[in-house]
Structure 1
Amino acid sequence: MTVVLDPADWQPLQEAHASRVDALLADHLDRRRRGEKHPVEDFLFTYYPTRPKQLRVWHPGPGVGLRGAQSYEAKRGYLYADDVARLDPAEVTRRADSIAWIGKLLSATASRQPQFGCFGLHEWAMVFRSDEIRHDWPLRLGAEGTDQVVKSSKIACSHFDAFRFFTTPARPLNILQPTRESQPALEQGGCLHANMDLYKWSTKLMPFTPSSLLLDCFELAKDIRTLDMRASPYDFATLGYSPVEIETPAGKAQYAAAQRTFADRARPLRQQLADLCDQLLQGV
């Protein structure tokens, strides 16, 4: 059943969404206009493919029709008939396999006990015994000090899209060997990257994802990225980022505490996305 909103009801929601996006992206867009790069914040627009212009499009989500929204006639995934824009069921059918895979991954991750003992060492393993610095930024402990932290630590990365960037010498040091095929069996809710990726899954489910949920996932990813880089081997002090010194007991405790906070924030967002997948597939 579809609830149809009149322009007086849906246009303020659309405007509020645009204002929220503009506030979230203001710094990034200002830097882009000046041609400046940022090693921490640009990640959400280089690693993830969704562009700012796409984020600014408001989507109400399933079960909502928009009266008088003729501009949605040209947007992929919508039908416009009888002066009402609605999500197109044929688009759900076409993408059913992808929606089912995302839903399976999200539900499997949610069912697993979160782990908080990785201490962000994935970033360190990406530069272990390497002459190349991924972010073109100085290492806080230097190459030798960074390698020593990796060699003296237990590496327990469960996230394939982090593990695939490990250097060749670092790969055997990981107690897990994640693959794309094993992703649903290994991902867990304590992992920063698994929680950051909620933003990725919310974008891959567009236009079905309600935009309020999409931006909640974006804000979570933005905050997680900051911790991810503060705990990395890079020295971002000149950008105003104090390090989380995971090579020390105090730094490990600080990282794990932040990890738990992000896991708590991610849990309801992951459930909402999993429920969205189920809702969509039930209509196929």
Structure 2
Amino acid sequence: MTTTTSTPARGGQRSVLAEHQWRPLEERHHERADALLAGHLDRRRRGVAHPVEDFLFTYYSHKPAHLRRWHPGPGVVLLGDGARDRLDGRWYREAPGGGVELDVAAFRAARATPLRFVTSLLRAIDRRPANFGCFGLHEWAMVYRLPPEQVRHSAVPLRLGPEGTDRVVEEHRIRCSHFDAFRFFTPEARPLNQLHPTRDSQVELDQPGCLHATMDYYKWAYKLAPAVPGDLVLDCFELARDVRELDMRASPYDLSAHGYTPVAIETPEGKAEYVTAQRSFAERGAALRARLLQICETLNTAPDRD
């Protein structure tokens, strides 16, 4: 059972965990992470790439070994000899009264810029209504009028062929609001987008219905590690993995050889299927975004030193 001290810290009481309490939490985190990493690590050993399941390890910079590390987050004191190993790394300190805890003041001082950006971005997304009218056309715009040898996943065929793919782009309104999707549009597709997002306009444009903005909760979680608890990082990873699957099923690629059925967004039925899944991901994302914002608020409002 978790105990607490009476010493206020980070806007509230510290949770104090004896070693026999926090070790099982760490072990469960390792087991969960190992299950999520197994396929990727096996393919990496064999030199085999997967266009869907390996994306999170190539697009994002978080290494599998880092994903496996468990952190309790701010406001948690770990007791026992095993906790002292964390003092060899960054961002941990000896807690007043004994034990080891996250050094919130040092973390905030060193990570002030990303903390400020992530906080402002998540707050802005939280206030903004969701848009469910993009139908995943960003992936189609990334191959628009490209020679076959320049297509990113050139080993995977286009479901409608080059001409059919281009026709889908030309027959739809494209309104991609996420810079990290838009920056991969082909030169011919960029003028077709109704928005022209930039890195500087990300806080103004990212919205809760966007698949890529939702996937990025994983990025913001690990960017603020070890201040973000390990279970929340894994929750964000799982959501990003599931979103990526929809992203590619709704893309112009034919992934049937990998066991994925297409979401044919060029049809009314496919659009409806896409929006239904998109709404579900937005709901899951809202819950994770709230947890991330709570961490940000804790970090932003903590006293400089206890």
Normalization by structure 1: what TM-score?
0.97
Q: Which residue of 1 aligns with 2:272?
A: 253
Q: CA deviation at 1:83?
A: 5.6
Q: Which residue of 1 aligns with 2:79?
A: 67
> Which residues in structure 2 correspond to 1:171-250 (within 5 Å)?
171-250=190-269
Secondary structure of the 1:50 match is coil
Q: Which residue of 2 aligns with 1:79?
A: 93
Would you say the 8 A contact 1:72–1:80 is kept in 2? no
Q: Which residue of 2 aligns with 1:110?
A: 126
Secondary structure of the 1:116 match is coil
Q: CA deviation at 1:3?
A: 2.3
Secondary structure of the 2:53 match is coil
- Indicate the RMSD between aligned Cα atoms, in angstroms: 1.1
Are residues 1:49 and 2:67 paired?
A: no
Residue identity over aligned pairs, in percent, reads 58
> Which residues in structure 2 correspond to 1:255-274 (within 5 Å)?
255-274=274-293
What residue identity is the alignment partner of 1:177?
H
Which has the higher mean CA deviation after the structures are superposed, 93-102 or 112-121?
Answer: 93-102
Q: Which residue of 1 aligns with 2:39?
A: 27
Are residues 1:58 and 2:90 paired?
A: no
What residue identity is the alignment partner of 1:123?
E
Secondary structure of the 2:44 match is helix
Q: Which residue of 1 aligns with 2:138?
A: 122
Q: List runs of 5+ in structure 2 lacking aligned partners.
A: 1-8
Deviations 1:121-141 (A, max 9, x none): 000000101111111221111
Q: Which residue of 1 aligns with 2:153?
A: 135
Q: CA deviation at 1:162?
A: 0.2
Distance in 2 (CA, whole Å) between partners of 1:267 and 1:130 is: 36
Distance in 1 (CA, whole Å) between partners of 2:16 and 2:221 is: 23
Secondary structure of the 1:128 match is coil
Normalization by structure 2: what TM-score?
0.91
Count of matched residue positions in the alignment of Structure 1 and Structure 2? 284
Q: Which residue of 1 aligns with 2:16?
A: 4
Q: Which has the larger radius of gyration?
A: 2
Would you say the 8 A contact 1:96–1:281 is kept in 2? no
